[in-house]
Chain A
Amino acid sequence: MFDLEPWDTILDISSAVLLVVGAALSLAAAVGLIRFPDALARLHAATKPQILGLILIVIALALSVRSWAALLLLLPVIVFQMLTSPISAHMVGRSGYRTGAYDPDGLVADELAPDIEEASRSSVVSSDDDEA
């Protein structure tokens, strides 16, 4: 039995380290959410560092619980987070851009605006554009 003990300690310590790093990344996400200048930039903070943070925390949990059942429950957490967060970010980003919830002066380049203008000029597209 005591053969396992150093191994246990290693796992516990790495789990603790991962938890702290993951929590720090989530904190950075929260700070970015407040400090970034406009909605589009804040989205980056809201969706991104937190993904790695979550992955690290889930790995930490798996290392400290050490059971297959827990792993099988934790895996979908990551998978769904990775599948859904780009989509929600995209939806918020898209509507944020359309409603002007961003700071144009903060953009070095905006290659979308001319294309939207062009698209709304053509009559076929404009009806679709209105409902968007």
Chain B
Amino acid sequence: MIDDTVNDGAPRNETADDDLPTMSEDRAHATFLQQLPLLVALVLLWMMLWGSVSVLTILTGIVVALLVTRAFYLPPVELSRRFNPFWAIAFLTRFFGELFVASFQVAALAFAPKGRSRSAIVRVQLRTRADIIMTLTSITISLVPGSLVIEVDRRHAVLYVHVLGASSADDVEEARHHTLSIERLIIAAIGSKAEWELVR
């Protein structure tokens, strides 16, 4: 979803293989710490799927989690180490509220007379440079009915959003504004200090 785009999309945080040894050791350590939440989540999921909490499920869970993260290696997620619970709750409330309202709007559109549902593809220039925030914004936009991310330009942090039921230039501007306000909420919740200052 975030990787291949119109551009060559060279990863910004590419780990160079020919780094100094000390550097790569640092990185290896950092990535293990960064991977820890993922490993814990995978073990929890494993226990959920088995429906039991026992030594056996925990041990097999750890083995499976390690295997999965080695076999399907993903670039480490870079978190900003900043978390604001107030904004996180604000974001979740807004997200579920929109999910609820928009679901019924799209449902109504489905039953509306034909020829009314026009749409638009809107280019949204995000202000963030963090992959995690771009990803979360895209997922949120895509989950809320009526909007869908059909193309991502990762290098320039641009989302192309397909908006259902847009009929005028005003609707296009509103969709752009809406996407940016979601991005702002996510930055407020988990973005770095610098980015939060930027969108404040």
Residues of A within 8 A of B (CB): 24-25, 28-29, 31-32, 35-37, 40-41, 43-45, 47-49, 51-53, 69, 72-73, 75-76, 82-83, 85-87, 89-91, 93-94, 96-97, 106-113, 115-116, 119-120, 124-125, 128-129, 132
Contact = CB atoms under 8 A, between A and B. Distances in A.
Interface in B93-133: 99-100, 102-104, 106-111, 114, 117-123
A16 to B, nearest CB: 19
Interface of B: 1, 4, 6-9, 45, 48-49, 51, 99-100, 102-104, 106-111, 114, 117-123, 138-139, 142-146, 148-153, 158, 160, 162, 164, 166-169, 171-172
Contact of B118 (A29, A72, A108, A113): A108
A87 B11 CA distance: 19
A107 B118 contact: yes
B138 A90 contact: yes
B103 A41 contact: no
A106 B162 CA distance: 12
Contacts, number: 163
Nearest to A113: B121
B93 to A, nearest CB: 15
Given A44-B106, A108-B119, A108-B172, A94 B150 contact: yes
B94 to A, nearest CB: 15
Q: Which of A37, A96, A120 has the most CB of B within 10 A?
A: A37
Contacts of A40: 119, 148, 150, 162
Given A29-B110, A119-B7, A44 B151 contact: no
Contacts of B142: 47, 85-86, 89-90
A124 B7 CA distance: 9
Contacts of A41: 117, 119, 164
Contact of B121 (A31, A83, A112, A120): A112
10 contacts: A35-B114, A44-B146, A48-B103, A48-B144, A48-B145, A87-B1, A90-B152, A107-B119, A108-B166, A108-B168
Contacts of A24: 107
A51 B99 contact: yes
Contacts of A31: 110-111
Nearest to B108: A28
A107 B150 CA distance: 14
